[in-house]
A and B are shown apart, each in its own frame.
Chain A
Amino acid sequence: MEDAKDKVWPTGLTEAESEELHRHLIQGTQIFGMIAALAHLLAYIYSPWLK
């Protein structure tokens, strides 16, 4: 039961594992953010709003 020590409650993941999942989440959010910004910019160029 030695490696149960670094399990983080309640997921049963170790700290390294949860950090890795977290990294994927952050990375995914960053990519989505950049894509969304670019899509909005292009949509604005095509047809400016608030005009």
Chain B
Amino acid sequence: MSRTAGPLGRAWARLGPRFLPFADAASADLPLARLLRLSLFQVAVGMALVLLVGTLNRVMIVELGVPAALVAIMVSLPVLYAPMRALVGFRSDHHRSALGWRRVPFMWMGTLIQFGGLAIMPFALLVLSGAGQSDQWPTWIGQLAAGLAFLLVGAGVHTTQTAGLALATDLVAPRSQPRVVGLMYVMLLLGSMGSAVLFGWLLSDFSPGRLVQVIQGSAVATLVLNGLALWKQETRRPGRRRAAHEPAPGFIDAWRVYAGGPNARRRLLAIGLGTLAFGMQDVLLEPYGGQVLSMSIGSTTLLTATLALGGLAGFAFASVILSRGTDAFRMAIAGAAVGIPAFMAISLAAPAGNLPLFALGVLLVGVGGGLFGHGTLTATMQHAPPEHTGLALGAWGAVQATAAGLGVVLGGILRDVVNAIAGIAPGATGLDAATGYLVVYCAEMALLVVTLLVMLPLANAATGSRLLHPPVEAGSR
């Protein structure tokens, strides 16, 4: 296998076992070098997400002077494509290919779309801000171009990630799935953290030319990373193709069959509610720390690192426990259960003025979110019918990405509306400014309680069926 893995793969393989906690994800049929190489698409996804919601969000407002409301609309455009992930996954399940490929064409197409979006992004943003000579042209050109760029990047990310996760599910034995999920999440986190630091450093000396270089550089990086990730990964099975005259099954019918499966709707509802609960504080933690707890900018940045650290701990813990055969829903329930005291700690930190309590709460939110995300994705993989892997992972991604995007928007709106009703001035500091944030945290706790109520029957159902049918041995699929 080292022949197909190439020098980069071998370098990864030498590094991997020593520095990554998921070394034994490799089974005889899938060496670690290939698995690590496959996970590179998650680095590209993380990079694109951080660019959209982090770096460009700031650059548009601060450096380019675009109105904040317009920026908010642009940044939330990619969420519109998230529900399409179910369709993308379904289409890849039934892709008609003489080469016997199901996932590679979609990963490649997603990569091209993402590349295209990033390639026009810097010019679109410059035109949107009316820089250079572009103020002599109608404003709708910039808005349309920027909207198109954001939509393209979003469509590319969602397509690549759906096909990539489905490919990972196809490739690994069920026994190794928990560790693969852990690896995928860790690569996503590393990709976004690493590129956040890198983008921040590269753009610290801002100029329009530098913006073009950085964004188009990320476009090339996307192409390289995804190309490496999908190279020689999918087994060609020409026998799998259907005869040309055989009609493709319809999406609606397939969706009815999938959603009509045991507990399928309940599972998706729980994933949506839980992700919403963990997502609403996402952009509020740093302003809460700064505005209410009077933390400095440096220490609020540490909050994001603390949250990521908690997430990493959650993924690692879930990987280890789940690969021993624990029920993945129980892990997700544990994640939601950890989230409730975590948000309580964050809420109580303001009246108590207790920074360590706040930091502990943030860490626990990271851990809980990690456990919940890992548990639900692993459960989705394990319950996916072999012929509908793409649809199942697409449905997971559609619900998860929509809820996460919605959570960020709802969290911000809820805080602003409550603060406005309570008559709090935007510049207020200390406990006076806390009301809006506390309402959001209470809403998150309430959502987590509802998530727990929705999920508890799932764990019981899983134990029940496990008693009737002993767990399937690894590799039997």
Contacts and interface: CB of A to CB of B under 8 A. Distances in A.
Interface of A: 14, 16-17, 19-21, 24, 27-28, 31-32, 34-36, 38-39, 42-43, 45-48
Given A35-B116, A35-B119, A39-B119, A46 B132 contact: yes
Given A46-B123, A46-B133, A47-B133, A21 B112 contact: no
Max count, chain B CB within 10 A of own CB: residue among A14, A16, A31, A35 = A35
Contact of B98 (A19, A32, A35, A43): A19
B112 A17 contact: no
A11 B124 CA distance: 42
Nearest to A43: B123
Nearest to B123: A42
Nearest to B96: A20
Contacts of B98: 14, 16-17, 19-20
B124 A42 contact: yes
Contacts of A21: 99
Contacts of A39: 119-120, 123
Contacts of B132: 46-47
A46 B131 contact: yes
A32 B115 CA distance: 9
Contacts of A45: 123, 127, 133-134, 137, 141
Contact of A28 (B112, B123, B133, B134): B112
B105 interface: yes
A20 B97 CA distance: 7
B131 A35 contact: no
Interface of B: 97-99, 105, 108-109, 112-113, 115-116, 119-120, 123-124, 126-127, 131-134, 137, 141, 145, 208, 238
A46 B126 CA distance: 7
Nearest to A38: B120
A42 B120 contact: yes
A48 B133 CA distance: 7
Given A19-B98, A24-B108, A31-B116, A42 B133 contact: no
B127 A42 contact: yes
10 nearest interchain CB pairs? A42-B123, A16-B98, A35-B116, A46-B132, A47-B132, A17-B98, A20-B98, A39-B120, A46-B126, A45-B134
Nearest to B124: A42
Contacts of B238: 17
Contacts of A20: 97-99
Given A17-B98, A42-B145, 14 more contacts: A17-B99, A17-B238, A20-B99, A24-B105, A27-B109, A34-B116, A35-B119, A39-B119, A42-B126, A45-B137, A45-B141, A46-B131, A46-B132, A47-B132
A17 to B, nearest CB: 5
Nearest to A31: B112
7 contacts: A17-B238, A20-B98, A32-B112, A36-B119, A38-B120, A39-B120, A48-B133
A35 B145 CA distance: 11
Contacts of B123: 39, 42-43, 45-46
B198 to A, nearest CB: 23
A35 to B, nearest CB: 4
Contacts of B116: 31-32, 34-35
Contacts of A28: 108, 112
